[in-house]
Amino acid sequence: MGKEFNKVLYDLDSFVYGKSLYPVKLKNGLEIGGGLILPELNFTLPNMLFNESTFPKVIEQYRSIIDEACKRAVELSVPGFVAEVELLPDATYRPEWGIEITKVVREVMYEYEQKHQLKSGLRLTPVDIREDLNSEHMWHGEFWDKIMRIFEEGAKAGADFLSIESIGGKDVHDEAIMYCNIKQSIFGLGVLGCMDMKRLWGSITEIAEKTGTVSAGDTACGFANTAMVLADRGYIPKVFAAVIRVLAVVRSLVAYEEGAVGPHKDCGYEGVYIKAITGTPISMEGKTSACAHLSPVGNIAAAVADLWSNESVQNLKLLGGMAPTVYMEQLAYDCRLMNTATKKGHSAVLLLRDLLTDSDSYYDPQAYVLRPDVVLKLSAEILKGKDHFERTKLAGLAAIRVLREAYENKEVLISEREVPWLDMLQNEIESIPADVNVFTQEMIEGNTSAKFEPKKYDL
């Protein structure tokens, strides 16, 4: 580990939205986690071709999306916001496209800053194209180089925050989710994932330092949100998805061990744990991301957020305007309400935080593990582990214990057919060997996932 995190930094009273121990401040004065919760707007293209000949249209799409969204932000007196440019695969495979999109979007944002004093920051998120079947290695080669080039040149083109939804360990984890194989999941998140995050975030932080940008953080989207989406459809147990969320904490934390300072990415709901452990600000998404996927955490996700996001919405025309503009409006109103509570004083903040929390946490184990009190308790358990592997196992066991207790105390709804899964998962985790090398060998030998190639990780 680079930087070490060994203790929980908040008590329940100080663990609130809009405010973090170590806010992030941009040169233009935009501050995240400094007292106000702000919108983070995400958007994507409508159904259209993305190629050489349509590129001018693509650029025009992005330009008009951000222009209209900024206009609405000004109309609503938004005190500041972050725009996320989450590149599509085409714009990552061709870095010059991704860089051009970044530049165009940022230029519009600068314009609004100058003309209307609307402060904003741009988060740049390339696709982790190392998932490509032709990618030969996780830490070098064509795909790695392209990602790093986008970060570096994207930073020069105006990006402020560098992020990625990285995929190290996902090659075994996709199958782990489909089969609800918790051992394989721990191998993906706690071993492969952490190994990869260390290399990846070491490099991203270096680029951030070199370019004067912010190494912001990752998300376990490809792991825990994939599980969440499947659980929402009744395909896998919700308790499994809830446990995966907590396992993912250790992996996402590695970015911070390697120098990231936040804000953690919106779709990583494990961000609440990152905030508790690192004191850095986080972005979260909830009811406002219903445009992208359903989730059982619509309100609770906002309880300790510093940025409030909508995940991603296509640029389609709705009656109220283009969809990203409409979402800017929704985010703006949510944030305005929360910031008004802040102005009223700490007791209003706590009341609002607890309303957001209590309105969701009973209905789904995935919401329950995001309760601020539960987050602080589980974070302390996780930090008892001495390395990533041990911490991941402890995360799983502690999450199972907390869910079982909550179920027995009728604090969380767990359907009858899911209850036996808690014991099954616990037994599986307890059967994992203590030595990470023994475990790794065992998992490599018994591997059934066609996508996993140990040599890509130098194993």
Partner 1 sequence: MQELLNKIAIGIEKGNKKAVLEDVQAALDANIKVESIMNDGLIKGMEELGAKWKRNEVFVPEVLIAARTLTAALEAIKPILAQQGVKPKGKAVIGTVKGDLHDIGKNLVKMMMVGAGFEVVDLGVDVSEAKFIEALEENQPDILLLSALLTTTMPQQKAVIDAITAAQLRDKVKIMVGGAPVTQEFADEIGADAYTQDAASAAERAVKFVS
| Region near partner 1 per CB under 8 A, out of 33-41, 234-242, 356-364, 429-437 | 234-242
Task: Choose between 316 and 438: whose C-beta lies nearer to ligand B12.
Answer: 316
Site map (CB under 6 A) of ligand B12, residues 290-309, x = contact: --xx----------------
Tell which positions 97-126 bind ligand B12, by CB under 6 A: 125
CA-to-CA distance for 250 and 244, rounded, in angstroms? 11
| Alpha carbon distance 191, 194 (integer Å) | 5
- 262's contact among ligand B12, partner 1, none, with CB below 5 to 8 A by partner kind, is none
Which span sits near ligand B12 by CB under 6 A: 83-91, 154-162, 322-330, 402-410? Answer: 83-91
What tokens were used for 364? 């789904």
**Which of 27, 133, 319, 408 is in the footprint of partner 1 by CB under 8 A?**
133
Q: Which of ligand B12, partner 1, none interacts with 221 (beta carbon under 5 to 8 A by kind)?
A: ligand B12
With CB under 8 A as the rule, give the number of residues binding partner 1. 27
Query: Does 351 participate in binding partner 1 (rule CB under 8 A)?
Result: no
Contact status: 216 vs partner 1 (CB under 8 A) = no
The listed partner (ligand B12, partner 1, none) that binds 224, CB under 5 to 8 Å by sort, is: none
b/e map 147-156, b = 16+ CB within 10 Å: bbbbbbbbbe
Judged by beta carbon distances under 5 to 8 A according to partner kind, the member of ligand B12, partner 1, none in contact with residue 312 is ligand B12
Please identify which residue in 132, 136, 428, 442 interacts with partner 1, judged by CB under 8 A. Answer: 132
> Judged by CB under 8 A, which of 152, 165, 174, 334 binds partner 1?
174
Q: Work out how close the CB of 30 gets to ligand B12 at its nearest, in angstroms, rounded to a whole number.
A: 23
Identify which of 400, 386, 392 has the alpha carbon closest to the alpha carbon of residue 185. Answer: 392
> How many beta carbons lie within 10 A of that of residue 190, not counting itself?
29
Residue 110, contacted partner among partner 1, ligand B12, none, CB below 5-8 A by kind: none
Applying CB under 6 A, does 88 fall inside the site for ligand B12? yes
Choose from ligand B12, partner 1, none: what does 319 bind? Cβ within 5-8 Å by kind.
none
Bridge partners (DSSP) of residue 162 are: 124, 215
Does residue number 61 form part of the binding site for ligand B12 (CB under 6 A)? no
Query: Which residues contact ligand B12 by CB under 6 A?
Result: 44-45, 86-89, 125, 127-128, 165, 174, 221-222, 225-226, 229-230, 292-293, 311-312
Query: Which residues contact partner 1 by CB under 8 A?
Result: 44-50, 88-90, 131-133, 174, 177-181, 226, 230, 234-237, 314, 417
